[in-house]
Amino acid sequence: MNAENVCERHVHGDHDEKCCSCCEEKLHEEHEGSEVKAQVIKIILAGALFAASFFTRGALNYVLLGAAYLIVGYEVIINAVKELVTEHSIDEEFLMTVATVGAIAIGEMTEAVAVMLFYSVGELLEDIACERSRKSITALLALRPDSVTLKRGGELVTVPIDAAEKGDVAVVAAGERIAFDGVIVKGETAVDNSALTGESLPISVAVGDAVYGGGINTTGTIEVEITRPYAESSAARILELVENAQEKKAKTERFITRFARKYTVAVVALALVIAFVCPIFTGYAETFRGWLYRGLTLLVVSCPCAFVISVPLSFFAGIGCASRNGILIKGTSSIEGLAKLSAVALDKTGTLTKGELAVSEVIGGDEVLRLAAYAENSSSHPIAKAILRAYGKPVDISLIESSAEYAGRGVTAVIGGEEIAVERGEGGSVSVRRSGKEIGRIILSDELKPDSKEAISGLSGLGVGRVTMLSGDAETAAKRIAEEVGISDVRAELTPEGKCAELEKIIAENGGSTAFVGDGINDAPVLALADIGVAMGGLGSDAAIETADVVILDDRLSRLPTAVKISKKTVKIVYECVAFAFLAKLAVIILELFGLAGMWAAVFADVGVTVLAILNALRALNYRAG
């Protein structure tokens, strides 16, 4: 089966899970859609039969109710039995099965059908809510073209996206989504990376610049040499990490999971006591039916759905919200850690600063800068690049008679018959000499990111009481940057081992969780050591994505306070869901024990509370942390 036939089959809807990943994804979506449709049809049919039963009597009434019960309850009963037999455990489906079968046995068939019907409605709403949360994440990154146009043998060929290989040159027209990581070899454009980084403004790119899968080419046609196909692209790797984020569960989530297992067993035991022991001790045998009804109602009201669904859904929604803001949080445990953040340690270069030199001061006037730029014109040294950027004008190379570069010392050039020397000193300062005499100096420094000061201020406002700089740079340079952004605790001239040792001291002295923020490449050991490792500018960086717990994709430090806000809101919603579900169920249980609540109230306390808890959980998805 060739690639062309695969695409043709895909276009005409002849899907086969073996033909290509596009068709496999399409089949998965169609399968999920058909399951939801089937659920809706079953609920409507059962609801119609249930409604019709109110207008009938005798055998027909039982037939209608029985049919409605089996339509919505068949799968629930089968799943409950399978879970009991194969896993030797009981879950909410088991509780529903016992409660409704028991209700039928004591002649409360109408209530049994109502319980199963509303339970099925609740399950449907849960599925829809979970699917909405999942789609909100996959929609960020999974929008990829099914095909790509490649230049092969001098011709343009359209092939399935999975057929594009490393080294191929792809032609991406304006408006098309880039489906792979690559380097532009022809053309220039602006790329919208909002799906990846959350940054709304497109970035300008030209020949030699990197582009990443998931971005949208907004203006001109470009030709891109593929460095990594879609399956290995930044977008695909990030999406995989987000979808697998639930594997790193938060303590709250793990507690709820363990609690639900024991809780369900305890509920069944209590229901048995109420149904079979209480009648004996009350001394009224004729009340057995009433006590049994109360026991069955307890099974319904005590179903742990609201806990086991809303808690993980809240965390997952928080992860989705962070993704929309250009923040990759790799597990629900990291959300809980960020919510409790009380200390942050940061690297300087590439975190607070841009990681590239810039001219901060010229002593001696414009002529000093001009002569330095001419002398440095043929050098590729970072200092030379910074001086040329600061000069910002074309260099007339006809005026340069000769030039030479001396490693580690500087450059010399003969310009207009005079020897110009640019001597590179320590601490980001260079001396400019003409005919052996110093005529001025140029001060260079690592340029501060525009949002660094805002980020540090934002952390303080969120209760992060301790911010420390851990830098490998000289103490003078580190303290200058720290003073600019408002950090008083500076520890400089540190090796990677030294950073780890200092961070261990901070962790030991700190009561809450401690984060380290670095570039994700040089700081891998200290990122791994921190309670929360935060990597800056992870887009395209394997080290960042693999090592850190949190990856800020667009290199903006101000995203860190945003991540903390989202995490705090998410954890607050989790606690709200748990408290609301517990109090609502407890109230109905108390009323039910005194015979003041029946199965209808129990249905609300189970299905109704679950739905409300889910809707509350989805607030984390739509939270705006701006």
Domain residue ranges in the chain? 31-137+247-314+571-622, 147-178+180-232, 327-352+449-553, 355-448
The whole-number pLDDT of residue 171 equals 92
Angle in degrees, 0-180, between the axes of helices 559-593 and 332-339, rounded to the nearest 10: 100
Whole-number Å distance between alpha carbons of 327 and 337: 15
Quote the pLDDT of residue 243. Answer: 59
Q: What is the predicted pLDDT for the residue at 254?
A: 66
**What is the reported pLDDT for 14?**
45
- Is domain 147-178+180-232 classified as CATH 2.70.150.10? yes
CB 376 within 8 A of CB 348: no
Q: Supply the DSSP symbol for 178.
A: P
Q: What is the pLDDT of residue 343?
A: 93
Please state, in angstroms and rounded to a whole number, the distance separating the CA atoms of residues 515 and 367: 47
Q: How far apart are CA 368 and CA 129, in angstroms?
A: 65
pLDDT of residue 456: 93
The pLDDT value recorded for residue 52 is 93
| Given 91, 146, 168, 347, the catalytic residue | 347
Q: Supply the pLDDT for residue 521.
A: 62
Q: What is the pLDDT of residue 428?
A: 67
- Fold of the CATH domain 327-352+449-553: Rossmann fold (3.40.50)
Of 490, 390, 520, whose CA–CA distance to 445 is shortest?
390
Task: Work out the mean pLDDT of the chain and round it to a whole number.
Answer: 80
Residue-level pLDDT at 4: 35
- Parts of the chain with a pLDDT under 50: 1-25, 27-28
| pLDDT computed for residue 2 by the predictor | 35
User: What's the CATH number for 355-448?
Assistant: 3.40.1110.10
Supply the pLDDT for residue 60: 92
Q: How many residues does the chain have?
A: 626
**Residues near 472 by beta carbon (within 8 Å), at least 6 away in sequence:** 347, 349, 492, 493, 494, 495, 496, 499
Is 489 one of the annotated active-site residues of the chain?
A: no
On the question of a common fold for 147-178+180-232 and 355-448, the answer reads: no
CA distances from 185 to 177, 188, 210, 546 (A): 17, 9, 10, 29
CA distance 286 to 56: 30
Residue-level pLDDT at 27? 47
Using CA atoms, how far apart are residues 94 and 96, in angstroms rounded to an integer? 5
